[in-house]
Amino acid sequence: MVHTDRRPRHPGAMSAQDRPGRTPRPQRAILAVLGCLLAALACLPVAQAEDGYELWLRYRPLDAEQAGDYRARFAQLVAPAQTDVQRVTREELVRGLGGMLGRAPTQAQRADRAGALLVGTPASLPAIARLGLELEGLGDEGYLIRSVQADGRAATVVAANTDAGALYGSFHLLRLLQTGQAVDALDLREAPKVKLRVLNHWDDLNRHVERGYSGQSIWDWHRLPDWLDPRYTDYARANASIGINGTVLNNVNANAQILTPMYLDKVAALAGVLRPYGIRVYLSARFSAPMEIGGLKTADPEDPAVRRWWRAKTDEIYALIPDFGGFLVKANSEGQPGPQDFGRSHADGANMLAEAVAPHGGVVMWRAFVYSDEEPDDRHKQAYTEFVPHDGEFRDNVLVQVKNGAIDFQPREPFHPLFGAMPKTPLMMEFQITKEYLGFATHLVYLGPMYEEVLRADTHARGAGSTVARVVDGSLEGHALSGIAGVANIGSDRNWSGSHFDQANWYVFGRMAWDPDAGARAIAQDWVRMTFSPDDAVVEPVVGMMMASHQAAVDYMTPLGLHHLMGRGHHYGPAPWVEGGPRADWTSVYFHRATKDGIGFDRTTGGSDAVSQYARPVAEVFNDPARVPEDFLLWFHHRPWTSRVSSGRSLWDELVHRYSRGVGEVDRMQATWTGLQGRVDDERHHQVERFLAIQRNEAQWWRDASIAYFQTFSGLPLPAGEAPPAQSLEYYKALEFPHAPGDTQ
């Protein structure tokens, strides 16, 4: 049921039949042919729904002129299909070129006409070997795309050292066409700068997704391994198209049952679907699994029986999944078990698992998002305090996975002080793709600028230029192992991500994991062209909305460095008044510290001294209220309400101004989008329009509730022209959302 298409399907298509009178004979012959064709047309089904399922791989027909050019360039496809990876590569090219160009290229064993597309490796395709291309430096996953003469004829070659490289190159080539690039003189070389580019699914075995706003888990555990939902294949295609090469199937708040034989069979079945797309499967391991499913009395990593159990379990996994990636572990954090329960260190725990997977080439990704059950003086400091002393103690197949900031995926955080502080350990970046603290799926917030800001931040660990990107890609300290993880925003919703625009966050994550130096704007441009329309009249305004959206959300939620003011538990909506409960650092008042005198968390040398966890040039800037970037002012400083900021306004006035500015930006986004009606398909246009209306309402709610609350401290009037909150503070405080999605179970 294509609900948006309420029009007759082919209006007037047969109207010639209705005309009275006779038609001259030759035309009648033509009309007869036409009749057949029209009949054929009438039998063709209606337009494909634009429901978002196809993501950025829509492969819609290009305009005739462009399609003609490309068709001549890609008239023939020479691509082996001896292996599974080769087979899916060829399938994708046939699908993509066929969709965009109106017909797929003819397939051939060797190029024998102009306009051949050669895809493969020197080993898989002799023609590529004969070209003598420079493939060194492309590694296991890189590729080149080049316009060449092959046997005297113009051809295009996608060449790599491995099948996976050729697959990635093929997706890149398709992207060139999707985004309307010239392809007559191609000379591209690409290799990923980061080795492990991994999605983390916080998916429970009952299909609940923690912090998921896109329906259920796409993993239908109950019907696995017998039913392999075709969706798994499309998931793999989407990931391969942006270079993601690993996926952790289950929640870091892990259930040991995933390691039982029944579930490992299911995991193996999924691995079989993902393997041809270059994607390895990883599992979150519950540290206490030897007790829960192994019948042991302890999970002490120094206990020989525990070590044996993990080795045997790992061997069992690799017998089923020879290319199993390894384990992700959340230990001694938020109630999860871990080595500290047995008096051991994070390094002890990680190394035990690393030893088990090492013979098989696996890795351990050990999360640094830890905080003990005791209340710390400043949670900001804890990961650094716990992990830095162990730098150098981890086995060489361990990565420590560090969130982008020290608190928890807030709308904006300064980069985590661990980056640059553990030179002997590969530090894996953990970004959140799902918008736990950013309005769930209904707020349009493009995360590219946020990722970019973090990756380009300079740790100064080895002097200026020691960016977080250089730490993460391993180049700063010369680590061979490197990784970026993204907490997935993927679910069973038809559009995968809960909203059309949240697909862009999956997309930009993959592109930046491949190349941490890539630009958020350029990636947004690609995404809009592929996802909505190559029409510049669409691309430029939509990219403009996207690029402004992150700052807008920061402004209407947590301006000037405020953080962690969301509703308790579910993190939906404003709740700066949250206090009490089991832990101070699970309240809002802990983080904003508003008083009659001022607002903000003093993390300076005179306060919690978190600043000193950064390299000195960074610490000096963060420590100085005059030099700290204003976006982080209240992150590091407790400031008087009447103090001046760079705009010349008082802090209070600036706070109100920024809240309103955020709401105003959503107004502009709405106006921009409304102006695109008719240029974007009705189905997606309507949903985005409705979601923007929700975002606008909720932005106003954030502004109003926050201002109403903070005014009880500042005691100051609103600046001139600023509307008072629509409701009383008591109204906002009374709102409850007992069934908000994505909460922990």
Give the nearest distance from C-beta 551 to a copy of itself in angstroms. Answer: 24
Sign of CA dihedral 649, 655, 656, 657: positive
Q: What is the CA radius of gyration of the chain?
A: 28
**Cα angle at 72 between 71 and 73, to 5 degrees?**
90
Output 28 or 130, the one with its CB closest to a copy of itself: 28
Site for a copy of itself in 479-508 (CB under 8 A): 492-494
Three-class secondary structure of residue 387 per DSSP? helix
The contact pattern for a copy of itself, residues 252-281, with x = CB under 8 A and - = no contact, is -----x------------------------
In the set 28, 82, 83, 102, which binds a copy of itself (CB under 8 A)? Answer: 102
Residues 433-472 that bind a copy of itself (CB under 8 A): 440, 442
Least spacing, CB of residue 233 vs a copy of itself, in Å: 5
What whole-number distance in Å separates Cα of residue 598 and Cα of residue 559?
15
Tell me which of 41, 123, 312, 319 binds a copy of itself, using CB under 8 A: 41
> β-strands 280-284, 326-329: how paired?
parallel
Strand partners, 198: 246, 485
Nearer to a copy of itself, 40 or 182 (CB): 40
Q: Which is nearer to a copy of itself, 96 or 142 (CB)?
A: 96
- With contacts defined by CB under 8 A, name the span among 23-31, 244-252, 526-534, 598-606 that binds a copy of itself: 23-31
Least CB distance to a copy of itself at residue 14 (A): 5
Residue 123-142 contact track with a copy of itself, rule CB under 8 A, x = bound: --------------------
CB 9 to a copy of itself: min, Å: 4
- Least distance CB 199 / a copy of itself (angstroms): 18
Q: Is 45 in the site for a copy of itself (CB under 8 A)?
A: yes
The tokens describing 355, both together, are: 């030893």
**Does residue 734 interact with a copy of itself by CB under 8 A?**
no
Question: Residue 302 catalytic?
Answer: no
Under the criterion CB under 8 A, does residue 25 sit at the interface with a copy of itself? Answer: no
- Work out whether 424 is an interface residue with a copy of itself (CB under 8 A): no
- From 598, 110, 211, 165, select the one nearest 438 (Cα to Cα): 211
Site stretch for a copy of itself (CB under 8 A), options 98-106, 341-349, 421-429, 447-455: 98-106
Instruction: Count the Cβ atoms, other than its own, within 10 Å of residue 645.
Output: 19
Size of the site for a copy of itself (CB under 8 A): 79
Q: Which stretch binds a copy of itself (CB under 8 A): 49-57, 412-420, 548-556, 700-708?
A: 49-57
**Helix, strand, coil distribution of the chain in percent, nearest 5:** 40, 10, 45
Distances, alpha carbon 154 to alpha carbons 14, 108, 112, 117, 698, in Å: 44, 16, 10, 9, 56
Candidate list 391, 408, 620, 722, residue with the active-site label: 408
> What 3-state DSSP class applies to 430?
strand
Residue of 230, 343, 478, 648 that binds a copy of itself (CB under 8 A): 230
Q: Which of 66, 98, 388, 661 binds a copy of itself (CB under 8 A)?
A: 98
| Positions of E strands within 554-653 | 598-599, 639-640
- Residue 91 engages a copy of itself in binding (rule: CB under 8 A): yes
| Single residue of 42, 123, 312, 319 touching a copy of itself by CB under 8 A | 42
CB-wise, 130 or 494, nearer to a copy of itself?
494
**What residues contact 453, with CB distance under 8 A and at least 6 apart?**
412
- CA pair distance 335, 332, nearest whole angstrom: 6
CA distance 138 to 157: 15
Helical (H) or strand (E) element with 31: helix 25-43
Q: How far is the CB of 406 from a copy of itself (least distance, A)?
A: 30
Per CB under 8 A, contacts with a copy of itself among 2-21 are 2-14
- The catalytic position among 91, 334, 391, 477 is 334
Can you tell me the distance from the alpha carbon of 428 to that of 403, in angstroms, rounded to the nearest whole number?
8
CA dist., res. 489 & res. 511, Å (int): 16
By the rule CB under 8 A, 82 interacts with a copy of itself: no
Among 20, 21, 22, 43, binds a copy of itself (CB under 8 A): 43
Q: Give Cα 556 distance to the centre of its chain.
A: 23
Of 133, 393, 740, 744, the one binding a copy of itself (CB under 8 A) is 740
Reduce the secondary structure of 306-342 to three states and give it as a string. Answer: HHHHHHHHHHHHHHHCCCCCEEEECCCCCCCCCHHHH
Helices (H), 432-560: 448-456, 468-472, 503-514, 520-531, 536-557
Q: Is 46 in the site for a copy of itself (CB under 8 A)?
A: yes
Q: Does residue 724 bind a copy of itself (CB under 8 A)? A: no
Interface with a copy of itself (CB under 8 A), residue from 125, 159, 205, 618:
205
Q: Which of 92, 210, 436, 526 is catalytic?
A: 436
Residue in 16, 23, 28, 48 binding a copy of itself, rule: CB under 8 A: 48
Residues 666-705 that bind a copy of itself (CB under 8 A): 683, 687, 690-691, 693-694, 697
Tell me if 370 contacts a copy of itself by CB under 8 A. no
Residue 482 CA to residue 478 CA, distance in Å, equals: 10
3-state DSSP call for residue 487?
strand
Our answer to whether residue 436 is catalytic in this structure is yes
- For a copy of itself, the binding residue among 66, 69, 81, 95 (CB under 8 A) is 95
Q: Which residue has the tokens 């929640």?
A: 251
Cβ 667 to a copy of itself shortest distance, Å: 17
Is residue 26 a contact residue for a copy of itself (CB under 8 A)?
A: yes
| Residue 182 within binding range of a copy of itself, rule CB under 8 A | no
Name residues whose C-beta falls within 8 Å of residue 483's C-beta, 6 or more positions apart in sequence: 194, 195, 196, 197, 198, 365, 399, 401, 426, 428, 429, 472
Question: Residue 315 is which amino acid?
Answer: D
Q: Residue 104, interface with a copy of itself (CB under 8 A)?
A: yes
What six digits make up the tokens of 1? 């049921």
Handedness of CA 518, 519, 524, 529 (dihedral sign): negative
Does residue 726 belong to the site contacting a copy of itself (CB under 8 A)? no
Exposure of 162 in the CB half-sphere (CA atoms within 13 A): 14
Q: How far is the CB of 537 from a copy of itself (least distance, A)?
A: 20
Tell which one of 28, 222, 424, 644 touches a copy of itself (CB under 8 A). Answer: 222
CA distance 399 to 425: 7
Distance CA 616, CA 634 (A): 20
Least distance to a copy of itself, CB of residue 635, Å = 30
CB atoms within 10 A of CB 696: 17
Beta carbon nearer to a copy of itself, 598 or 741:
741
Q: Binder to a copy of itself among 193, 197, 201, 237 (CB under 8 A)?
A: 237
Is 731 near a copy of itself (CB under 8 A)?
no
**Shorter beta-carbon distance to a copy of itself: residue 234 or 393:** 234
Nearest-approach distance from CB 273 to a copy of itself, in angstroms:
11
Nearer Cβ to a copy of itself (142/573): 573
223 lies in the site for a copy of itself, by CB under 8 A: yes
Question: 457: which 2 tokens?
Answer: 């931040």
Nearer to a copy of itself, 109 or 745 (CB): 745
Q: Is 44 among the residues that bind a copy of itself (CB under 8 A)?
A: yes
- Strands 143-150, 153-159: pairing is antiparallel
Catalytically active residues, by annotation: 334, 408, 436
